[in-house]
Chains A and B, each alone.
Chain A
């Protein structure tokens, strides 16, 4: 035994005597993780969160979250002598006085954008592959919670510098609070410590941004990961992969090295972006004053869809009995997002209710094999994308020489018309892809080689696909639709008939599929050739 081994053994022994960790570690160090590029999406979120904690802590050392008025006396000439809040002045100081401060600000902002992109794409991966199904519904809900909090956290973060752009964002947030019926003005006055903008808001959201929400994030992410660990990761269908096993690489050393390495890659790429790609150059916007605004005011992308919805809302307000309800703010600002996030959170339960599938699932679906789910997902994405586009309608209009009016009317119509079209088209596409899969299994791959038969007929030579590929294309199960009783034997409507009718309807729609190829069919076809 070398000296080094003896020291390591002593340390391990010391810890194990007090914790009994060896038994647990022994088992878990060889834990198997399936490998697929799309499983890295969640890792990107985790790593950008760590980057956010590190760069954010750096920024707190110099940032002064105060709305007290100061006169700027830093090295950025164009703003010298201007009155501004201490928050804005200290952000300028971080950018121009503190060495590496600008880099850290830009890394922090880029990491926030990557964090949100990561969450959304990770969510799409989980949704379209059906990874949210039993037993993983809790983790889905935690994920939706992280997405929602991420949007709030990001908004609060870019509001802190108190520049003209972010102040305008806060003004809009205040208007949304103020529009809440009955208690709106009270909530707004409590949040802002009086009339807008007051001097209380930035210090308050600072506490929320750097303490409260990161704490909640940390707790939720921990539970999220513990559940992934305990429930074991899902895997894509493939040869040798079943509902009962996990095929992949052991945690130590391969997965550790890859995941650890990937953290440094994500950090490195974020640092690169922070180094070369300017983001949120607050010194160009100037300090916030309610009487000014810059043209082309744009929120960060994850708020853009919300802003787009607000922009396209019809100008409706109700004035009755001396009170006002602003539908033009409530519908796009609170009601529609509320419905969207509630629907998102409840989706796993809705699907299992409608299909009657209460079994555990560890093998992922290929999106084409669940046309209904895939089509619903694309429909929701289309809705969000139209809103997002409208959030940048002014930029798009000036870039492509359109008028704002054209953009706005396009969005107002498209937000209603395009999602259903997207649903139908996606479903058709999925079925076509299923048909293509079936063809591939039964008739093999097109080789592009043309052969002239002795009879003069030209045929293209097809090559059979590998057994592995054939298995991947046919291993999914095709569920029959539910047939819940709507009538009793005498043809009389049963209690709960409506519920059963809805479930039958949805499950019939979900069960539409091109029958997958079977060995029997393959053999029959061989007989013909």
Chain B
């Protein structure tokens, strides 16, 4: 028996050690008082809440270190609630830990697997049930039932059809047309080139026809950012350069990645940055992506001035604005 390896043995559940409250009536009485105090504190918390709700005006502020200027009404409600709930919990647990029996109990487990006989019985029952229904013998019923049940899956899908209209070419068009004036957002004032200094940025929208209202759906596609540089700072091909006006260049403000507003302009580097995922676009090179997850430049809007000297779109956007979608061709 020399090469038989002997494992370390289970010493079994250690003997129970009594707590002080189990043996010392004084300790038990102390624990009882502690539990009672916790419950009383909870009641106090509820009173604080009620008092704050009724009597403290909501414009009283007090300075508390760490928290800063704090609204007393809010703090009273919250702390009162926190105290009233927490102390009930603390009391219950203290009670369980000091006064309720703490001797560990052993229960037995049983395997979940049914006895083999039961399993066989079960299979027999199912088979008997199936053959009583005659599923195997009546293939016609089986197949038509299958087809009918399968078809009932269609109506729920069909009935959801009116959740929305079909997209059509909606994702590809914006409100910008040849001659649409650029107006400030907010303010709706038309803009002359001289309103923008070199280095300035303006957020614009297409001018509304009289009596029309602007919807968020429109803004989600129409928002345009104007940036004025010195013309010699551009690094554009002839076509794109012709889309600028006196150093003013216009881009869709809707990120070509996931549609956030590309709102951060860094004047020194002439970079536009989308705060959502940090796609970075170089304004001097027609918003070419120089960093981040965006795969396409921001669409550039062709701008010029009308006879009154206000900035207008020289043409609609030449490509869809915003995030990509399946039907997009470029």
Residues of A within 8 A of B (CB): 30-32, 96, 99-100, 102-103, 106, 135, 168, 171-172, 174-176, 178-186, 188-198, 200, 231-232, 239-240, 242-250, 253-254, 257-258, 260-269, 271-272, 274-276, 288-297, 307, 310-317, 319, 322-326, 328-329, 332, 360, 362, 393-394, 404-405, 408, 441, 467-468, 470-471, 474-475, 517-520, 522-523
Contact = CB atoms under 8 A, between A and B. Distances in A.
A178 B203 CA distance: 26
Interface in B204-240: 205, 216-217, 219-221, 223
B28 to A, nearest CB: 16
A328 B11 contact: no
A220 to B, nearest CB: 21
B58 A99 contact: yes
A319 B107 CA distance: 65
A397 to B, nearest CB: 9
Nearest to A167: B216
A290 B325 contact: no
Contacts of A186: 166-167
B170 interface: yes
B324 interface: yes
Nearest to A295: B275
Contacts of A272: 78-79, 82, 86
Given A254-B100, A272-B78, A247 B8 contact: no
A103 B93 contact: no
Interface stretch (B126-134, B141-149, B286-294, B306-314): B286-294
A362 B109 contact: yes
B136 to A, nearest CB: 30
B261 interface: yes
Contacts of A360: 111-112
Given A194-B164, A276-B75, A264 B326 contact: no
B215 to A, nearest CB: 9
A171 to B, nearest CB: 5
Contact of B8 (A176, A294, A522): A522
Contacts of A198: 164, 217
Interface size class of B (residues with CB under 8 A): 35 or more
7 contacts: A171-B260, A178-B325, A197-B217, A244-B108, A253-B96, A264-B89, A468-B11
B22 interface: no
A243 B92 contact: no
A389 to B, nearest CB: 14
Which secondary structure dominates where chain B touches chain A? loop
A185 B325 CA distance: 6
Given A290-B219, A328-B294, A257 B163 contact: no
Interface-centre pick from A172, A193, A290, A325 (highest chain B CB count, 10 A): A290
Interface of B: 4-14, 53, 58, 67, 70, 73-75, 77-79, 81-93, 95-97, 100-102, 104-109, 111-112, 160, 163-167, 170-171, 185, 203, 205, 216-217, 219-221, 223, 253-254, 257-261, 263-264, 273-279, 289, 291-296, 322-330
B85 A264 contact: yes
A116 B13 CA distance: 36
Contact of A248 (B104, B108, B294): B104
B87 A268 contact: yes
A97 to B, nearest CB: 9
B276 A293 contact: yes
Nearest to B169: A185
A313 B323 contact: no
B292 A179 contact: no
A274 B78 contact: yes
Given A103-B77, A257-B95, 15 more contacts: A32-B107, A103-B81, A180-B326, A253-B96, A268-B86, A271-B82, A290-B254, A290-B259, A291-B205, A293-B260, A323-B328, A329-B258, A408-B291, A518-B8, A520-B6
B11 A326 contact: no
A520 B4 CA distance: 8
Contacts of A519: 6-9
A181 B327 CA distance: 9
A-B complex: 5 closest residue pairs judged by Cβ atoms = A275-B78, A268-B86, A264-B89, A261-B92, A240-B13
